[in-house]
């Protein structure tokens, strides 16, 4: 990736509106709006799924029907009309990906605008990309290289066909269909997503990457991601999101499940930039995501997220530290501006002995936004010598935004050591004047201060992602003071 210069940033700052707010004109194959058992069956049929999968979806649907939308989060929004959404949308043209020529040129143009030209990716970077356009994966690269190591990285719909034994064994094993309202909904109607399996003892030679995009107006997006790292393996997985600007609210309810078997390690990094709504709080994506990982003995799962987008975010990437000596980490930067609302954090569930978890959460609020950290540290009765360290820092800009911290601690074992630190600070006039006096204008000064504040988390991201994340932070907060 070429170096990102300050001039590039300046150019970007000139366009204050959401920069990825374009819309790709691809014919879509769309279901009628509404949700019932027939629709669930139709989705499953469309995907040519085996019966066990159809049944699994139907079971989830029945559970979902009996549930109500959760209200405990510190967010306010008009409840989506779940019967007013179309639950399936796929690009009509379904290219066989032997070469890029077979991909819809419109789609390629979109990728170019996003700066993720597959061609470039193939030649220049070491990143394999499984691109999700609307709901169906249309491009998978690097498959061969991965195949040689026995790594499976493909759309989950393909995995259901070709590796049913793996999918059947692990899907819903960390996030059961009954887990929560949105997870149940996702289980019933998920259209596609990614599947990744790293065999025993294999260290994945490249960062695996998925780009999600919501495209078709009024279509809910329900992605399902399943990553299984077999014993002693390692994988670093990147997930990045952009979405076109839209007036109506778009619902996004994804489920991500990670399984790290004995001695395995999974690093999962997200840069989330869904459309946050405009300056008056109109539009924007509702992002209700369930992300959870399971660690067996000596395993490690690291979640790193940079959340700058969405009108409403409800997201708690969590770790179940089931195996002895397992490690869970959560590093998060959540930025809210204008009328955005975020309720995000993590759950660290210590079940095994000598389990360790670290939580570093950086919340940045500007405009009239509300930014909440919500985290649970649970130490089970058998989790001897469990240790947790949590640090929650909030940075405020202006007088109209809010930062909230809701830490929950449940310790059922006396040997547990749990530390929680929290700070709240404000970008002050004094800091800005100091920077100004040194020749640094206010927008640049904010970027500098915010990057400094977020550094511990940015440092956890893979290089190419860190640059993108830094860019996003600066763009998201541009013009938010003064």
Partner 1 sequence: MLEINNLHAKIEDKDILKGINLNVKAGEVHAIMGPNGSGKSTLASVIAGREDYEVSEGNILLNNEDLEDLAPEERAHKGVFLSFQYPVEIPGVTVTNFIKTAINESRKANGHEELPAKEMLQKIREKAELLDIDRKFLSRSLNEGFSGGEKKRNEIFQMAMLEPKLSILDETDSGLDIDALKVVANGVNKLKSQDNAVVLITHYQRLLEYIVPDYVHVLHDGKIVKSGGKELALELEAKGYDWLK
Output 419 or 441, the one with its CB closest to partner 1.
441
Q: Are 296 and 269 in contact (CB under 8 A)?
A: no
Output 356 or 362, the one with its CB closest to partner 1.
362
Binders of partner 1 among residues 232 to 261 (CB under 8 A) are none
Contact with partner 1 (CB under 8 A): which of 299, 360, 449, 461? 449
Output 158 or 456, the one with its CB closest to partner 1.
456
- Tokens standing for 301? 């799962």
Contact with partner 1 (CB under 8 A): which of 54, 74, 145, 451? 451
Distinct helix (H) and strand (E) counts, the chain? 12, 23
State yes or no: residue 25 binds partner 1 (CB under 8 A).
Answer: no
Output 105 or 439, the one with its CB closest to partner 1.
439
Contacts 24+ apart (CB under 8 A), 459-462: 460/269, 460/302, 460/304, 460/331, 461/269, 461/271, 461/304, 461/306, 462/207, 462/236, 462/238, 462/269
Nearest approach, Cβ of 425 to partner 1 (angstroms)?
8
Binders of partner 1 among residues 389 to 448 (CB under 8 A) are 428-431, 433-441, 444, 448
For partner 1 (CB under 8 A), the number of binding residues is: 23
Output 58 or 435, the one with its CB closest to partner 1.
435
By DSSP bridging, strand 312-315 and strand 300-307 are unpaired
Nearest approach, Cβ of 7 to partner 1 (angstroms)?
9
Contact with partner 1 (CB under 8 A): which of 4, 6, 25, 408? 6
- Tokens standing for 121? 């990716």
**Of 79, 54, 261, which is closest to residue 160 (Cα–Cα)?**
54
Distance of CA 323 to the CA centre of its chain: 25
Nearest approach, Cβ of 423 to partner 1 (angstroms)?
9
Nearest approach, Cβ of 456 to partner 1 (angstroms)?
8
Contact with partner 1 (CB under 8 A): which of 177, 180, 341, 454? 454
Output 235 or 445, the one with its CB closest to partner 1.
445
Nearest approach, Cβ of 165 to partner 1 (angstroms)?
47
CA distances from 202 to 149, 197, 220, 294, 452 (A): 7, 10, 36, 19, 36
Output 32 or 452, the one with its CB closest to partner 1.
452
Cβ density class 191-210: b for 16+ within 10 Å, e for less? bbbbbbbbbeebebebbbbb
Residue 410 and residue 391: Cα distance in Å, rounded? 17
Nearest approach, Cβ of 436 to partner 1 (angstroms)?
4
Segment contacting partner 1 by CB under 8 A, of 61-69, 300-308, 335-343, 451-459: 451-459
Output 6 or 25, the one with its CB closest to partner 1.
6
State yes or no: residue 69 binds partner 1 (CB under 8 A).
Answer: no
Contact with partner 1 (CB under 8 A): which of 456, 462, 479, 481? 456
Binders of partner 1 among residues 316 to 375 (CB under 8 A) are none
Q: Are 272 and 310 in contact (CB under 8 A)?
A: yes
Nearest approach, Cβ of 455 to partner 1 (angstroms)?
4
Output 97 or 448, the one with its CB closest to partner 1.
448
Contacts 24+ apart (CB under 8 A), 144-151: 145/205, 145/206, 146/204, 146/206, 149/199, 149/202, 149/204, 149/205, 150/199, 150/202, 151/196, 151/197, 151/198, 151/199, 151/202, 151/204, 151/235
Supply the angle between the helices 6-14 and 463-477 in degrees, to the nearest 10.
Answer: 40
Cβ neighbourhood burial of 328 (10 Å; 0-12, 13-18, 19+): buried
Output 123 or 438, the one with its CB closest to partner 1.
438
Nearest approach, Cβ of 280 to partner 1 (angstroms)?
27
Nearest approach, Cβ of 98 to partner 1 (angstroms)?
44
State whether the Cα torsion 439-443-446-451 is positive or negative: negative
Nearest approach, Cβ of 5 to partner 1 (angstroms)?
8
State yes or no: residue 452 binds partner 1 (CB under 8 A).
Answer: yes
Residue 117 and residue 2: Cα distance in Å, rounded? 14
Task: List, in sequence order, every residue forming a beta bridge with 234; answer none if it has no partner.
Answer: 203, 265
Phi, psi of 423 (to 5 degrees): -135, 150
The CA-to-CA distance between both ends of the chain, in Å, stands at 34
- Tokens standing for 118? 């597959």
Nearest approach, Cβ of 370 to partner 1 (angstroms)?
24
Output 307 or 443, the one with its CB closest to partner 1.
443
Residues at the site binding partner 1, with contacts judged by CB under 8 A: 6, 428-431, 433-441, 444, 448-449, 451-456
């Amino acid at each position: 990736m070429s170096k990102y210069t300050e001039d590039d940033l300046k150019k970007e700052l000139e366009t204050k509106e959401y920069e990825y707010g374009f819309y790709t004109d691809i014919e879509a194959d769309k279901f009628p709006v509404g949700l019932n058992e027939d629709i669930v069956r139709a989705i499953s049929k469309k995907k040519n799924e085996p019966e066990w999968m159809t049944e699994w979806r139907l079971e989830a649907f029945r559970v979902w029907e009996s549930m109500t939308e959760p209200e405990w989060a510190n967010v306010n929004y008009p409840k989506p009309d779940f019967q007013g959404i179309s639950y399936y949308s796929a690009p009509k043209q379904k290219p066989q990906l032997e070469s890029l020529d077979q991909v819809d040129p419109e789609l390629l143009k979109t990728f170019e605008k996003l700066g993720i030209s597959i061609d470039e990716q193939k030649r220049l970077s070491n990143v394999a990309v499984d691109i999700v356009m609307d709901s169906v994966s249309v491009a998978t690269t690097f498959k061969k290289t991965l195949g040689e190591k026995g790594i499976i990285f493909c759309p989950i719909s393909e995995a259901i066909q070709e590796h049913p034994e793996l999918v059947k064994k692990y899907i819903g094993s960390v996030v059961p269909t009954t887990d929560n309202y949105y997870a149940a909904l996702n289980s019933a109607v998920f259209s596609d997503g990614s599947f990744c399996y790293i065999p025993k003892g294999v260290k994945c030679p490249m960062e695996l990457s998925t780009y999600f995009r919501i495209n078709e107006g009024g279509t809910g997006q329900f992605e399902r991601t399943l990553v299984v790292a077999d014993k002693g393996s390692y994988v670093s997985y990147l997930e990045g999101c952009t979405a076109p600007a839209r007036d109506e609210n778009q619902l996004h309810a994804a489920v991500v499940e990670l399984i790290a078997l004995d001695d395995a390690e999974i690093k999962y990094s997200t840069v989330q930039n869904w459309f946050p709504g405009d300056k008056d709080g109109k539009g924007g994506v509702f992002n209700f995501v369930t992300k959870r990982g399971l660690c067996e003995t000596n395993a490690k799962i690291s979640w790193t997220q940079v959340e700058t987008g969405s009108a409403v975010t409800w997201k708690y990437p969590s770790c179940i530290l089931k195996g002895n000596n397992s490690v869970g980490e959560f590093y998060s930067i959540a930025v809210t501006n204008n009328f955005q609302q975020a309720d995000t954090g993590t759950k660290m569930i210590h079940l095994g002995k000598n389990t360790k978890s670290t939580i570093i959460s950086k919340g940045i609020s500007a405009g009239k936004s509300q930014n909440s950290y919500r985290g649970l540290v649970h130490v089970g009765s058998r989790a001897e010598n469990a240790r947790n360290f949590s640090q929650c820092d909030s940075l405020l800009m202006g007088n109209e935004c809010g930062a909230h911290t809701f830490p929950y601690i449940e310790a059922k074992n006396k040997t547990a050591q749990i530390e929680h630190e929290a700070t709240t600070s404000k970008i002050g006039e004094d800091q800005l004047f100091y920077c100004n006096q040194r020749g640094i204008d206010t927008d640049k000064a904010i970027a500098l201060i915010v990057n400094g504040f977020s550094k511990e988390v940015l440092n956890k991201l893979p290089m190419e992602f860190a640059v993108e994340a830094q860019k996003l932070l600066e763009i998201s907060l541009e013009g938010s003071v003064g």
